[in-house]
Structure 1
Amino acid sequence: MMEITNTDERAVNADRISELPEHILHHILCLLRWPADLARTSILSKKWKVIWESFTSFDFDQRHFQCVNAADKWDHLQPLPVEKQSSIFKQAFESLGFVELPLIHKFILFVENTLGTRLDQLPSIQKFRLHVVFSVHLLAPFMNHWISVATDKNVNELDIHAKMDGKFYALPELVFASKTITSLKLNGCEVGDSTAIKLQNLRELSMKAMRINENIVHNFVQACPLIEDMRLINCYGLKFLHVSSLPKLNKFEVHERSSLRSVKLEVPNLETFWFHGKKSSRCKLILAGCGNLKNLTLKHSHMADKSFHELVSHFPLLEKLFLLECRTLHRITILSDKLKTLSLVRCHKLKEANIDAPNLLSFEYTGAELPFSSMNASRLQEVKLHLKSQKQKSVQKFIEGFDGKGFKLFLASKQGVNIYEELRGLHLSYFGAYKIQLTKSARMVENLLNSHLRDFHPKTLILKTSLTSDLLVFIQEKILNKEKTPPSCCKYYSKKCWRHYLEGAKMSLFPDASSAEYPNTILELKWSEAAPLPGCRDMKDINE
Structure 2
Amino acid sequence: MDYLSGLPKTILHDILARLPYKDAAKTIALSKTWRDTWSSYPNLYVHCNDFITLHHVPIINSHRFTKMDILIDYVTKRLLRLCAQGLAIKEFKLDLRYLFHPPHGSHDVDQWIQMACASGVEVLELYLSNGSIGREYSEDIWYDLPLCVIEAKSLTKLVLTGGIRVGQEFLSHSMKFSSVRMLSLRHVLFTHEGVIKHLISHCPLIEQLTVEYCSVYNHLSIEGPQVHRISRVKFLFLNGLQRLKKVHVQGVEEVHIDSPNLENLCYSHFKFGEPFNLNFDSCTKLRCLCIIDLNSTTIAEKWFLELFSKYPLLESLEICNCSVPEKINIFSSQLKVLKLYDCSNLNEVNIDAPNLLSFDYRDYKNRHRDYKNPVISFLRGSNQLEVSVFTNLRCQYFYSLSRFIENMPRKILASLSLFIYELLPVGICFLLCWLFLHAYLYVPI
| TM-score bracket relative to the smaller structure | 0.7 to 0.9
The residue type paired with residue 317 of structure 2 is L
Match status 1:284 vs 2:288: no
Match status 1:384 vs 2:392: no
The residue type paired with residue 260 of structure 2 is P
Q: Residue in 2 aligned with 1:254?
A: 249
1:242 is aligned, of 232, 237, 247, to 237
Return closer, same or farther for 1:378/1:131 CA change in 2, 3 Å cut-off.
same
Contact 1:214/1:239 (8 A) holds in 2: no
Contact 1:64/1:70 (8 A) holds in 2: no
Summarize deviations over 1:361-393 as a string: whole Å, max 9, x none: 001001254323532342143111111134434
Contact 2:13/2:41 (8 A) holds in 1: no
The residue type paired with residue 203 of structure 1 is R
Contact 1:273/1:295 (8 A) holds in 2: yes
Shift of 1:275: 0.4
Where does the alignment leave 5 or more consecutive residues of structure 2 unmatched? 130-134, 217-232, 367-371
Q: How far apart, in 2, do the equivalents of 1:99 and 1:211 lie?
A: 29
Q: How far apart, in 2, do the equivalents of 1:216 and 1:312 lie?
A: 35
Bigger mean CA offset, 209-218 vs 290-299: 209-218
| Counterparts of residues 82-481 of structure 1 (less than 5 Å) | 101-121=65-85, 123-133=87-97, 134-163=100-129, 165=136, 166=138, 167-187=141-161, 188-195=163-170, 196=173, 197-212=175-190, 214-237=193-216, 238-256=233-251, 260-278=252-270, 279-299=272-292, 300-301=294-295, 302-306=297-301, 308-309=303-304, 310=306, 313-367=309-363, 368=366, 369-379=372-382, 380-390=384-394, 391-396=397-402, 405=411, 407=413, 409=415, 427-428=435-436
3-state SS of 1:370 partner: coil
Q: Residue in 2 aligned with 1:66?
A: 52
Q: How far apart, in 1, do the equivalents of 2:208 and 2:40 lie?
A: 29
Q: How far apart, in 2, do the equivalents of 1:223 and 1:416 lie?
A: 63
Return closer, same or farther for 1:135/1:262 CA change in 2, 3 Å cut-off.
closer
RMSD: 3.4
Match status 1:45 vs 2:9: no
Q: How far apart, in 2, do the equivalents of 1:99 and 1:400 lie?
A: 64
Q: TM-score, normalised by structure 1?
A: 0.63
3-state SS of 1:42 partner: helix
Shift of 1:337: 0.8
Contact 1:170/1:191 (8 A) holds in 2: yes
Identity of aligned residues (%): 27
Contact 1:353/1:371 (8 A) holds in 2: yes
Summarize deviations over 1:75-113 as a string: whole Å, max 9, x none: xxxxxxxxxxxxxxxxxxxxxxx9893212211122123
Q: TM-score, normalised by structure 2?
A: 0.76
Shift of 1:16: 7.7
Return closer, same or farther for 1:122/1:307 CA change in 2, 3 Å cut-off.
farther
The residue type paired with residue 65 of structure 1 is F
Return closer, same or farther for 1:284/1:404 CA change in 2, 3 Å cut-off.
closer
Where does the alignment leave 5 or more consecutive residues of structure 1 unmatched? 1-9, 72-97, 430-437, 439-463, 466-514, 519-544
Return closer, same or farther for 1:99/1:381 CA change in 2, 3 Å cut-off.
closer
Shift of 1:24: 4.3
Summarize deviations over 1:269-326 as a string: whole Å, max 9, x none: 0000110111234111111111111000001222422463355542111100010100
